Structure 1
Amino acid sequence: MSATTDLQTSTAADLRMATFRLARRLRAQRAVDTMSDGQFAVLAALKVHGIHTLGELAERERVTAPSMNRTVNCLEEAGYLTRTTDADDRRKVNIELTPEGLAVVKETVRRRDAWLEQALAALSDAERAALAEAAVIMRKVADA
């Protein structure tokens, strides 16, 4: 391996680990301690993208329909979402957030943003500028 390849491998590993650790710290900031990451992801998807069918949610989250059904059942029992028959196609069942589910998403996002803002406040101006630039690059890599 060349020195350039070694540096790229080291950089990739460092970035992966730092991203993983930061994501884990952010995920820990949640409104409902007993809610899994997968359950929160479903609520967040419904907030951002609106009403979905079970199949659409399963596809979006890259899980099987039976797995998504279990997640939706749990969230429905907790009062965070509802299932309603589609007015135009009675065979179709739509899943949407309840006001309680929306409140969980908003509070979790608020907590995560507050934690990150506090962490960023401890950094220098130069470090915050570097992270702002890195965020743009990370989005570019994620979208590739």
Structure 2
Amino acid sequence: MLNAARLFAVAALALGVAAAAPAPLAFVPAAFAHGMSQHTMWRSSQLVGTPVFNDQHQQIGTVTDVLVSPAGTSAEAVLSVGGFVGGRKLVAVPLAHLAMMTGHNTMMMHGATKAMLQALPPYVGGGSG
């Protein structure tokens, strides 16, 4: 009888622990589902300081920060644009608009010009970081 009580207690404990265990994540990022590994991703620390060029091979800015939404559904790059005469200005652009030029440690923003970036509203900081 004592063994049956122990068996019942162990079974109840096992069921209780199993019920308390977190459910496996149903969400698998598309990048990993399609075989992308961490080796093909960029760390934000690798992006900060990276010069940004346009299609005419003109440097139009430098990445100064990377912002990610709380849900992780969107990301922006903060660029330092401008020069000595016009003064430096920080602007935020969708990170998806930038392409990393592998092997060159630079980024490309197709179709962009210095004037277009200067016309953007200034990034004034904020966030919780």
Scaled to the shorter chain, the TM-score interval is under 0.3
| Larger relative contact order (CA 8 Å, sep ≥ 6) | 1
More strand by share: 2
Please give the TM-score of this superposition, normalised by the length of structure 2: 0.24
Normalised by the length of structure 1, the TM-score is 0.22
